[in-house]
Chain A
Amino acid sequence: MELINPIKVQQMIDRLKDQELYIHLEMTTGAYAAHLDSSKHPAATFITNALIQYSHGTIAGNGPYRVGLKMGQGWVYSEGLTHYEQNEAERLIMAGHDSQGKLIVALQLSKTPF
C-alpha cells in the first residue's frame, strides 16, 4: 500500500463509474479496543461483495481523504482514507491507517468479487 495519490484515485473512480461493482466497505475500532482501554467503545462494521453502481464519484480533502460516490438512490461515503494500492489496474483498493499502522477504514471497488 502507498500513500494516496488523489489524482490517481480520481482517475480510477472515474474509470469505474456507471457499471455494476462489488464493494467492500468497512470501519473498525478493533475487537480489542475495550479490552485495552475500558473507556473505548468497540465498534466495527463491514459489508463485502454487495453490488453497487455510481454515476459520479469524488475524492476530497488533503489527507486523510474522503470519498463520496453518488448512486441512483443514495450515497457511499468514507472518511479517513490514507493508503491505496497503486499496482491495481482494474480495482480501487483504499484504506485508512491510524498512527500505529492499524487499519481503521477500508473502501474497495471491483468488477469481480473480493
Chain B
Amino acid sequence: MNTTNDKIVVILPHPDDEAFGLAGTLAKAVDNGAHVTYACLTLGEMGRNMGIPPFASRVTLPAIRKEELEASCRAIGIQDLRMLGYHDKTIEFEDQEKLAGRLASIIAELQPSLVITFYPGYSVHPDHDATGAAVIRAISEMPADARPVVHTMAFSANVAEDLGEPDIVANVTPYLRQKMASIQAHRSQFQAAELVGSKPLTDDEIISRFGTEHFWIYRFAE
C-alpha cells in the first residue's frame, strides 16, 4: 500500500464501515497517488442510531446516510463511490452466487492491485461477514496469479486467538484529520457514547483510539 498509483477497491456493506478501521489507510493511499473505488453494498437503512436527539427516522435514514457516505468519501479523498443498492441486514440472504458475481464484475472492470473488505467469520455483523465471504468467493474464482492482494478488517472477540496478530499495523496518525472528518461525516451515527464518548476527545485520546488501523492479509487456499 506504500507504492504509488495503486488501484484499490474497498467492498463493505454499510456507510461508516470505512470510517473507524480504514479511513486513515485510505487517506494515506490517496495521498500517495492511489485510486480508490468504494463499493458500499447498502445504505445502512436499518441502523439504530438516528442522531441525538433523533433527527432521522426509518423513513429518512437512507437518504441521510447516503449524504453522510458521500461526505465521508470526500473527506478521505475517495475518487469513485458506488452504492450497490442492497438492503441493510439482508446480504447473507441474497443469492450468494449472484452477489459474488456482481462483485467479481466490479473487480474485473477495475483490476485493482488491492481489495479491502471484512474477514468473513470474524467481523461480528452478519452483513460484514457475508460481504467478506462474497468478496473472497469472487476472488477465489480468479486464477491465482491474477488475484489482487486482499486486506481484511476483523474485530470479533476471538480474532487474535484464531487468526493471530494482524499482518499490518498501520500508523495513520498523520491522516487523523481526514479520518476524524470521515467519522464526523456520519453524524447520524457517531454521537453514540460507546463510540466517541460523551465528552470531546483530547488529541492524545484521538491518537490512541484512532491512530492505528489493523489488517489481516487473506490467504487463499490454492
Contact = CB atoms under 8 A, between A and B. Distances in A.
Contacts of A114: 58-59
Interface string A96-114: 0100111110101000001
A12 B95 CA distance: 39
B52 to A, nearest CB: 4
- Best-buried of A36, A46, A83, A103 by chain B (most CB within 10 Å): A103
B156 A28 contact: no
Contacts of A31: 89, 124-127
Contact of A93 (B46, B59, B125, B156): B59
B55 A102 contact: no
Given A32-B125, A35-B156, A103 B48 contact: yes
Contacts of A102: 48-50, 192
A69 interface: no
Interface residues of B, number: 25
Nearest to A106: B58
Majority SS at the chain B contact face: loop
A11 to B, nearest CB: 19
A16 interface: no
B193 A100 contact: yes
Contact of B89 (A36, A44, A83, A91): A44
B51 interface: yes
A30 interface: yes
Nearest to A114: B59
Size bin of chain A's contact surface: 20 to 34
B89 A101 contact: no
Given A31-B124, A31-B126, A35-B124, A101 B58 contact: no
B54 interface: yes
Interface string B119-159: 00000111100000000000000000000000000001100
Contact of A35 (B54, B56, B157, B193): B157
A26 interface: yes
A85 B53 contact: no
A95 B54 contact: yes
B54 A101 contact: yes
Interface in A71-105: 83, 85, 91, 93, 95, 97, 100-104
8 contacts: A1-B50, A30-B48, A31-B124, A31-B125, A93-B59, A101-B50, A101-B191, A103-B48
Given A102-B50, A103-B58, 17 more contacts: A1-B50, A1-B54, A1-B57, A30-B48, A31-B124, A35-B124, A46-B89, A83-B54, A85-B59, A95-B54, A95-B57, A100-B193, A100-B194, A101-B51, A101-B53, A101-B54, A103-B49
